[in-house]
Amino acid sequence: GAVVSQHPSRVICKSGTSVKIECRSLDFQATTMFWYRQFPKKSLMLMATSNEGSKATYEQGVEKDKFLINHASLTLSTLTVTSAHPEDSSFYICSAPRGDSYEKLFFGSGTQLSVL
């Protein structure tokens, strides 16, 4: 099956620093990737849709200047949490649909971000 690799799996940073999270599709090309945020014992909240070669589409209420998304190639999307604060601490997950139908999502293993 398709594999999506997400790195790092866990990061601890100081308040005010920026953190970059990478999401790679290993055996398929992904023109679109999705970034989610998940709080403990809660569902996934879609933050933004990353589009290869164009600007990301952000969901309502998500600060685009806070969560920078870059999708520079067909296999890599990055999410940068800029000037992180403790309230940004969360579990971030990426996913990518394979094929034209977008019917099945393949997920990365997630990144646990802790901002001190």
Partner 1 sequence: SQQGEEDPQALSIQEGENATMNCSYKTSINNLQWYRQNSGRGLVHLILIRSNEREKHSGRLRVTLDTSKKSSSLLITASRAADTASYFCATASGTYKYIFGTGTRLKVLA
Which two tokens mark 75? 């296999």
Candidate list 13, 45, 68, 76; residue touching partner 1; CB under 8 A: 45
Q: Name which position in 21, 79, 84, 93 contacts partner 1 (CB under 8 A).
A: 93
User: Is 46 a binder of partner 1 (CB under 8 A)?
Assistant: yes
Instruction: Kindly give, in sequence order, each residue whose CB lies less than 8 Å from that of residue 43, ignoring residues fewer than 6 positions away.
Output: none
Q: Per-residue DSSP letters for 11-50? A: EEE-TT--EEEEEEESSS--SEEEEEEE-TT--EEEEEEE
Minimum distance of partner 1 from residue 40's CB (angstroms): 10
Chain contacts with partner 1 (rule: CB under 8 A): 4, 6, 32, 34, 36, 41-46, 49, 91, 93, 95, 97, 102-110, 112
